[in-house]
Chains A and B, each alone.
Chain A
Amino acid sequence: MQRNLPPFELVYPSTAQDAVNLRSECYSSCYLAGGTHLIPHWRTVERPPELVINLKRVAPWNTDDLVNTSWLTPLATISDLQKHMFSHPGFSGLSTAAREFGAPLIEPLATVTGNLAAARSNCALAAPLITLAAKVHYVSIVGSGHVSVDDLFEKPGCTTLPHGALITAIEIPTPPPNSHGAHLSLRGGTTSSPLIVAASTLVELNDDGTVRGGRLSITNAASTPREVIAAQEILRAHTRLDDIVGDLGQAAADAADPDDDRWGSAKYRKRMTRVVTERLIKSIASIPTTEVATQ
């Protein structure tokens, strides 16, 4: 049976400040960027927002220049991210996560900011952005600010941004020299099947291939994406990655706090967090030292 969208007023502000003002004037309102999450959601709720503030015509976001190595604008889509060839190997995790987004027909529509703002446990791009120390910049009725992606998620469906805040950019710092990123996801079947668990890492290596630092984060292994804090200490070991694979896997499993769902039990998902993390670290450890040292 067809479920038409419920009625709402749709407006197209031309500036970010106009958008924020409109949001503050109507409590039952929301921003719309890609819409691939919100539009299906509105078909299922009793009371959708009265006012939808569409960001597609906000200048200067309504241009083709949506992605560069340091910034993503709020209208940058998953396809934009896929097309953008980040040359630094530290961005490999982000590129992989974008390539494995798993929904080809919505990739030209779904935005990176929308993916983060939905604050779901399976937010595909959160883990690599956390490892890259990315920041979300926002503007609200009381001013502007920024928050690290690591601190963005309060609980499922809820961010730590002030009420009515509008994300204006995602800042992605350039990874340190001799660093390498990677991302690995486990799905229930094909590439478009539901995500079981995913892990991302950014490791910083010495010239001899030993590790000097880095970060590790996990997605769908807890109520929201999160960093594995204990991994920071392990990654400062100045030893070979091969020697700390098990430690990092255990740290990730310890940080995981998943729920049961129809795609897997909490116990299974926690175990897979360890497995995926260990495979992820091994994938970087298998890169020849000389290749890493020259990157």
Chain B
Amino acid sequence: MTHSVSLTVNGQDHTLEVDGNQTLLETIREKFHLTGAKMACEEGRCGACTLLVNGNAVASCVVLVSDLDGATVTTIEGLPSEGELHPVQEAFLGCTALQCGYCTPGMILSSISILDKEPNAGENEVRRKLSGNICRCTGYVKIIDAIQLVQRDRQIENS
């Protein structure tokens, strides 16, 4: 039996028929061909599959897409606006906060969620919130630097 689901993906509305056992990650990769989110642990532990669902960073490998009727989903492909990279993407580039890049889409989406929900989070809180995203290349230092760079830029803008 299939289920009808309405999703807004990267700002565009879609209605699709999905099987009950289909995860959000499979749908995004196989139906929308948006492959920035990666299949890795498939247990919700590594963060490579991170997507923003209604603004929350979630592990999309453990979410059934049929649960998300009416939800708004943002993938890494949906971040650039009018050809401009998102400020967090710019900061990751500026701080060289990536090496192999496998974890980077998830890292960036989690960072956006942290910055939106707790704009003034301290380093310890940022590290705690980012602990669901695993990177095996970097020491996380430059990733934290990138997030703090965005925090400082936003503080300057707001002042």
Contact = CB atoms under 8 A, between A and B. Distances in A.
Interface of A: 2-10, 32, 35-36, 39-40, 43, 52, 54, 56, 79, 102-106, 108-109, 190-192
Contact of B133 (A43, A56, A105): A105
A103 B132 CA distance: 5
Can you list the 10 inter-chain pairs with the closest CB atoms, starting with the nearest? A10-B20, A105-B132, A192-B131, A5-B21, A40-B43, A105-B59, A104-B132, A106-B44, A108-B56, A39-B62
Given A9-B1, A10-B3, A10-B64, A2 B23 contact: no
A223 to B, nearest CB: 22
Given A54-B64, A105-B110, A7 B21 contact: yes
Given A103-B132, A105-B110, 13 more contacts: A5-B22, A5-B23, A8-B21, A10-B1, A39-B61, A52-B20, A103-B45, A104-B57, A105-B57, A105-B58, A105-B132, A108-B53, A109-B59
Contact of A36 (B56, B62, B133): B62
A106 B132 contact: yes
Q: Which of A8, A9, A10, A54 has the most CB of B within 10 A?
A: A10
A43 B42 contact: yes
A287 to B, nearest CB: 22
Interface in B44-100: 44-45, 47, 50, 53, 56-59, 61-64, 66-67
Nearest to A36: B62
Contacts of B43: 40
Contacts of B63: 35, 109
A40 B21 CA distance: 12
A104 B44 contact: no
Interface of B: 1, 3, 19-23, 26, 39, 42-45, 47, 50, 53, 56-59, 61-64, 66-67, 110, 127-133
A32 B23 CA distance: 14
B42 A105 contact: no
A104 B109 CA distance: 13
B131 A102 contact: yes
B40 to A, nearest CB: 10
A5 to B, nearest CB: 4
B64 A35 contact: yes
B42 A3 contact: yes
Nearest to B47: A105
A205 to B, nearest CB: 30
B52 to A, nearest CB: 11
Nearest to A38: B62
A35 B63 CA distance: 7
Contacts of B132: 103-106, 192
A219 B130 CA distance: 25
B58 A106 contact: yes
Nearest to B23: A5
Nearest to B29: A2
Contacts of B61: 39
A43 B45 CA distance: 14
A39 B67 CA distance: 13
A105 B44 contact: yes
B131 A10 contact: no
B136 to A, nearest CB: 14
Contacts of B22: 5
Given A103-B132, A192-B131, A10 B57 contact: no
